[in-house]
Structure 1
């Protein structure tokens, strides 16, 4: 860690938040309106476009875990965030080129009719290249920047405050994209819309660089995941060894550079893995160092491994918390396209902008929670709600939001079938999205803070990326689930007016309810490793 007292703390905050704002503005403007762009400009059918959108969102959420491993093990969060920001900028440039060079996209037609020409292989290659660079770049920059920001502080209360502001910035910038930029893309030109995204991304990259002299940089500590693998192998190799109750029988590595020394005695939970730190014949060299790293590990490495194992059940419960959100995000765009989007005499609500509603509600409620709810809760109860309580509240609100979506879609289909000339207003879609957005204000920041505080220091970047990995897996599962439901039922035809999307939403309510019970079990049994 850089010891310069002029680095770190809140002095670095404006640069990290400024970079986050630029990247979020550009990323949301590209990935967020991708479904509409594919349908209208690349002649892709609606359900296929929704699946491509889910894959793009999934990739932008899965890559952060790869970027985090690179940051923790080899390069540090700043270097990875910088490289990722540059890749995202290149991706936005490709999207701009697809709008201004006619040969890079198929000839226009009427909303994906059968007479439309599909994109050529070359056009698909350019398009997917741009999507890949944007997904990898924006995904890699987002959570390594979050880790870089959290590393500037030592106290948990400052971590909570930073993550609230980080998510607020992310959501507010996304709101601007989902309104102003989407409106420009739909009503002015895609070239101008994507051009603004490219400029915003470039500015975010420059701001990240300008703050370099203020950042407190944590040096990577080698491959932490390799250490975890050694614990597993060493435990299995010594499975016949008898555990000892004497601390001196376990290998302890002291690091004089650390303000707090690592654990000296292995914990009682998951005791099988304590064997990895148990000293047996031939494990040590003459100078007392480890002679066989795949047979002997430090007590701290064992405790780090057990922390990962202990948190996995809770982590897995969040996957099916995010799957309905991914499905709702893509399906709601299709619903918006099938509704009356005229608001007033002169404004036509862009279909892709429907996703701004949960972002707005999350942004507003994050501020409300931070400034009103949590201080009041602390005043009356003497302490703030735990991260697990906040996550649980998010689970409940998410299920409620899916139920409201099902009811609204059922009403929309009845209107269409009874009188095709009557179209439901797009405003009916808003309540469910507001509820889901409020739920996100509870569970997303709480999850990031929980993983950051509970996982080992050597996995700080990985801890902030775990929620992103959840989102990524969820988007891929959403795509697979949509594909399977489309094959197995008549719920999701290309024309959703002829389908039963409400049945799909009710299925999400059922899955979400079961998952909430699973979360309650996991959170009750979880033992905190540190605070």
Structure 2
């Protein structure tokens, strides 16, 4: 919303004449809840079912080399985390949430049809490999075109529904309490669907048939889409009324246009939006940080007018919009530290699948854990830790310190645990390589070392506990510090962090493979442990960078920090 500064304070009040969302017909409410959550359940199971096991599918069915498969997997993960930002911008600015979700679900469905065809038609994939990948038949250009077309469609589709469905569900309610309850059920449903996809669907793909597994994903996606469409008559449709990003872009353009102007120290020389002229003398002007941006709000004779009054344009912005832009600049260094926090996790996720493929995954005489299903341990320990923290750790911390744990402190603890988790992965890999060499399996890539894959659980658990600290910490920090007009974007910024991290992890793996011998296609001949130790070093450097940023950072909304921190923790 457009905002104004209150007299004698640094706070801003909302301009009710300039809403950020326009409500269409008055519907919504709890009637829509089953349609939204069941749709989410179906779409999320389908996504987890095909994406979690993608590395194994590329290696076993398309004869793609191990490290190249991990790079493709990381790019796909990056896309599914980046597209929610694109979908949110399109929904907020142009067509609304319902249309974005509908089109995205259809694209996902079409992608799954192609993916299912690659698994069921022999002509759409190379012949199965019986020996070393070096001597196997490579996929043809046509086969790769179909495969990557399928992956592109399902990536766009899954990314376009993830956060947009959450926003649309929250838009169905008027009360903040109801919205909070919806979000609790939303995340519970999302995690439940992810666990089902990672375990049940992946098990079917590994032990029954890839075709059957993908057909199940296709059917579940179709059911979710059908249920979502059935609820159309009950949804409250929010009409898009423009994006807040336009206002921020205006700040940049207006600052450039007025770059030669001399800054004024008088509050009356700045534009505050629709406000009574008699209040100018009582208003505090723009802040002194990043003073050059204040030019965007300075009034000049050539500024556009409407009905005899100044109006916003690409040459004139409100003081609030300038301050909003400044707050984003200030938080950017902290946001960037989270990229290098998530990058090691992305690399660990992909390399862990390769490790599990070369280890004993049996639990008892008759059951073998699919290699991709080990990712569920991170989810489980994150969920368990969140419950323990909410009921025990955070109340105890508040009792001892008389204040809730701040977002910056949670992020710091998450950094430390992430470093410890990477060190744990390095130690496990060192032991695995020792077992491989002891049993002369170095040149046998398809042979499983006589070492239980359950050794992988410990570092995954540590990383999961770390996520329980830094993931809510990021939500709290961004929600607390982002401008009011960008609260929806604030939570989506986490998705952008993860997207960039997956892209960066792909580049880092590729660079490591080119300049070292640590990542050959036969990991028994490589040194993945050195890769993890490299991540430990990068983590320590990034932690130092984070500490510096945290010490220099000043909260924008320090008076509300404790209240918001508690609210996010309880949610």
Q: TM-score, normalization: structure 1?
A: 0.90
Residues 505 and 420 of structure 1, relative CA distance in 2, 3 Å threshold: same
1:426 equivalent in alignment to 2:426: no
1:56 equivalent in alignment to 2:76: yes
Q: 1:172·1:363 contact (CA, 8 Å) conserved in 2?
A: no
State the partner residue of 2:519.
492
Query: Matched residue of 2:135: which SS?
Result: coil
Q: How far 1:362 moved relative to its partner? A: 1.8
Out of 368, 379, 386, the position equivalent to 1:366 is 386
State the partner residue of 2:492.
465
Distance 1:380 1:152 in 2: 40
Q: 2:290·2:326 contact (CA, 8 Å) conserved in 1?
A: yes
Q: After superposition, what is the alpha-carbon deviation per residue over 1:106-138, rounded to whole angstroms, capped at 9, x for unaligned?
A: 121226533321111111111101100111111
State the partner residue of 2:23.
2
Residues 203 and 112 of structure 1, relative CA distance in 2, 3 Å threshold: farther
Q: How far 1:476 moved relative to its partner? A: 1.2
1:387 equivalent in alignment to 2:407: yes
State the partner residue of 1:260.
none
Q: How far 1:157 moved relative to its partner? A: 8.0
Distance 1:154 1:270 in 2: 37
Distance 2:63 2:365 in 1: 29
Out of 490, 504, 512, the position equivalent to 1:477 is 504
Q: How far 1:359 moved relative to its partner? A: 1.6
Q: How far 1:486 moved relative to its partner? A: 0.8
State the partner residue of 2:94.
74
Q: How far 1:248 moved relative to its partner? A: 3.1
Question: After superposition, where does 1:125-524 map in structure 2 within 5 Å?
Answer: 125-151=145-171, 165-212=185-232, 217-254=237-274, 265-285=285-305, 287-290=307-310, 293-378=313-398, 381-420=401-440, 423-524=450-551
Residues 367 and 403 of structure 1, relative CA distance in 2, 3 Å threshold: same
State the partner residue of 1:259.
none
For structure 2, the 5+ residue unaligned runs are: 1-21, 277-282, 442-448, 561-571
Residues 247 and 220 of structure 1, relative CA distance in 2, 3 Å threshold: farther
Q: How far 1:250 moved relative to its partner? A: 1.7
Query: Matched residue of 1:424: which SS?
Result: strand
Q: After superposition, what is the alpha-carbon deviation per residue over 1:25-84, rounded to whole angstroms, capped at 9, x for unaligned?
A: 111111110000011111111111111111111111122221122122222334323322
For structure 1, the 5+ residue unaligned runs are: 257-262
Query: Matched residue of 2:130: which SS?
Result: coil
Q: How far 1:222 moved relative to its partner? A: 1.6
Distance 1:106 1:255 in 2: 69
Distance 1:161 1:381 in 2: 29
Q: After superposition, what is the alpha-carbon deviation per residue over 1:366-387, rounded to whole angstroms, capped at 9, x for unaligned?
A: 3333444445545555553233
Distance 1:157 1:412 in 2: 50
Question: After superposition, where does 1:79-90 map in structure 2 within 5 Å?
Answer: 79-90=99-110
Point out the more displaced range, 306-315 or 264-273: 264-273
Residues 201 and 289 of structure 1, relative CA distance in 2, 3 Å threshold: farther
How many residues align structurally?
A: 524
Point out the more displaced range, 512-521 or 381-390: 381-390
Q: How far 1:88 moved relative to its partner? A: 1.5
Distance 1:3 1:529 in 2: 34
Point out the more displaced range, 75-84 or 483-492: 75-84
Q: After superposition, what is the alpha-carbon deviation per residue over 1:270-291, rounded to whole angstroms, capped at 9, x for unaligned?
A: 2321211111121143634457
Distance 2:360 2:254 in 1: 63
RMSD across aligned positions (CA):
2.8
State the partner residue of 1:39.
59
Distance 1:350 1:286 in 2: 65
1:123 equivalent in alignment to 2:150: no
Q: After superposition, what is the alpha-carbon deviation per residue over 1:123-174, rounded to whole angstroms, capped at 9, x for unaligned?
A: 1111101100111111121122233345567888877776555444323321
Structure 1 or 2, whichever has the larger Rg, is 2
Query: Matched residue of 2:295: which SS?
Result: helix
Residues 203 and 456 of structure 1, relative CA distance in 2, 3 Å threshold: farther
Query: Matched residue of 1:423: which SS?
Result: strand
Distance 2:307 2:60 in 1: 69
